[in-house]
Every structure is written in structure tokens, then in C-alpha cells.
Amino acid sequence: KEVTMAIVGATGAVGQEMMKVLAERDFKIDELICLADPREEGTQLKFKDEVITVQKVTEEAFRKADIALFAVGTEISKELAPIAVKNNCVVIDNSYAFRLEEGVPLVVPEVNAEDIKSHKGIIANPNCSTIIMTVAINPIHKEYGLKRVVVSTYQAVSGAGKAGIDELDEHIKAYMKGEEMKPSVFQYPIAFNLIPHIDVFVEHDYTREEMKMVWETRKIMHLLDLKIAATAVRVPVYRSHSESINLETYKPVTPEGVREVLSRAPGVIVQDNPQEKLYPMPLYTSHKDEVFVGRIRKDISTENGIAMWVVADQIRKGAATNAVQIAEIVVKDNLY
Ligand code: 2RA
């Protein structure tokens, strides 16, 4: 069945990736409406063999659209999503605005696709680092029962959009010329540096980026008392987030068992052979949709523990592809 699809924020890094993924997956669309900030009005965007002119957001556009993928900031989503819902347009929102709201499903299709049917107009796309982690740890939870998670993330600069990519470029050039690196997107120079600060600081001196992994994972996996702690770090990598994850399970667990479980898990590719120097790296996982897992080994600091290394393209599976997969289910199950 063909639908009318809108993308709000079509000219941004995630919006552009959504268009690419929709085309690649041959999503059945009779009309694609590209919406963006009025300053972008008139921009021409390529979609399959068409050229689509960007429009500013109007209520009329939401009246026409069956589904709207939102790839804008939290404040804009808060303002526009209710208008879309009022016009019977189902919203799949990539921002933080509604993720923790009662009655808004927060969905990673490989983990909790069944939650989509309970939507009341808005379905939230989790934060990229949460999506990447839950795809990898959910199969292990199903087999061994998850007791505790400790995760450190190594987040690419494109998590902050095109501006993040440009800042890394500028800082590398400045560093090579011996000039001062002037931060604007990030708190400090990002070239040849690591910044343990993404988003703002909230309770217990954690950042909101770190607490998103706690709050969102518990909601997605329906594990409201899962013990989880995170450290989120910005690293001078263009694309793909990496995560070092330590897991404690209730049942006895082995690396061989985890490798076997993950090798048949949806959306996961195991790349794990230390003797062959085989493990995932962001330089090689970008522009792919799978979550890559390697360095699977016993966590030697505890009884039933596993350590592993997880890498995925945070613009694709971490945002655009996850949102399009949700839209595919909404259409397939006629939930719009
Ligand atoms: C980041 N996860 O990496 C956040 C938003 N994409 O900046």
C-alpha cells in the first residue's frame, strides 16, 4: 500500500539519511513531502529519480501526510508533533521530546516491535547510543537474564550533525598549522582529544546522554529495575558510535554461548577473532545498518560476566534506519 510520507528536517544529516534509506528499502510512497526551516524553503532534494522542493512546515502538509518522520531538535518536535497528530498524521520522532512519555512507545524493532501497536499518534525513536546497545544486549538478556550493565561510549562527531563534522575538520586543519582550535559545537577542541561531556549534566553528575542510556533502555526492554551505568565520551571520529559494554547475567554465561546467541540475533553481525585481528571499528562500520559485535570475552572481574565491544553507524541504525523500520511496521500492520 502506498503512503504519503513527510520528513520534518529533511535537509539535516539524519533527514537526508532517512531519504536515502527510504529509497534503498524501496518504501512504497506515493508522495514524499520534504519539510524544513523556512530558510531552507526552495532547496531541491533528490529522491530516487525525482527532485523534491523543500517546503516550510504547514498544517496542510500534515493533513496530506499519513506518516511524518521527525529529524529535528527536541523543542521543534514538542511544538510540531501535536499538530501532526491532530491532523491524523502518525509521528515517528527522532528527538528526545516524547521518549519517556507515558503512552508513547519507544521502539527498537529488533527488541520491542510489539510496542508499536499501542501508539496514540507518536512513536519515539531512541537515542542512537541506546539503539546500538539494546540491539546487542537484548539477545543476551533473553538467553541469560541481564542483571547489570556498565557501558562506556565513544561517540562520533556526526552525532552533533554536519556542524560536528565541520568542527572536527577545522580543528584538525588548525592543529596541523599550529593554530588555535576554537570550539563552538563541542565544549573543547575535539581534534586529538576526548571530551567526557555530551549534552548537559543532570543528577549524580551524570550527563543526560549517559542517563538516556539508563532511562531509555529500561523502557525499551521493559526492565524497569535493570542496574545500568554509563559514561558517554565524544571522540574525534567522523561517523559510527562505539561502545565498551560489561554485562552481568543471572545465569552462567560463556563467550562461546554469547557468540552463538548473537550470531543468530536480528540486526547483529559478530566480528570476533582476536588471533585474526577481527573486531569492529568505526572506520569500517559506517554506512551499514547492522550492529557489529566483537572482543566478546569473560568479564574476569565477576562470576557471570561478559565484556564486549559494539560498533554501529549512529546516523543509520542509530537514527534513520531505525525510524524507517518503525514506519515499515506501521504501514504493514495498518497502524496509521
Ligand atoms: C550525539 N547521541 O551523539 C547524540 C545525539 N545524536 O550527539
> Choosing from 34, 89, 119, 128, which is the catalytic residue?
128
ipTM attached to this prediction: 0.94
For the segment 74-98, the average pLDDT, to the nearest whole number, is 98
User: For position 247, what pLDDT does the model report?
Assistant: 98
pLDDT digits (tens, 9 = 90+) for 291-306: 999 999 999 999 999 9
Instruction: Report residue 61's pLDDT band, with 50, 70 and 90 as the boundaries.
Output: very high
Q: Which residues contact residue 174 at a Cβ distance below 8 angstroms, ignoring those fewer than 6 apart? A: 180, 181, 182, 191
Distance 206 CA to ligand 1 centre (A): 15
- Which mutation among 18, 96, 209, 213 tests ligand 1's pocket best, with the greatest number of atoms within 8 A of CB? 209
User: For position 1, what pLDDT does the model report?
Assistant: 77
Query: First and final CA of the chain: distance in angstroms?
Result: 12
> 316 labelled as ligand-binding?
no
Give helix 208-221 / helix 128-144 axis angle, nearest 10°.
40
- Say whether 34 is catalytic: no
Distance 199 CA to ligand 1 centre (A): 8
- Which protein residue has the closest C-alpha to ligand 1 atom 5? 159
Cell of 119: 501508539
Check whether 104 has a pLDDT greater than 80. yes
Instruction: Report residue 111's pLDDT band, with 50, 70 and 90 as the boundaries.
Output: very high
- Which protein residue has the closest C-alpha to ligand 1 atom 7? 159
Work out the mean pLDDT of the chain and round it to a whole number. Answer: 97
For the segment 214-237, the average pLDDT, to the nearest whole number, is 98
- Say whether 128 is catalytic: yes
- Which protein residue has the closest C-alpha to ligand 1 atom 3? 159
What is the value of pTM for the model shown? 0.97
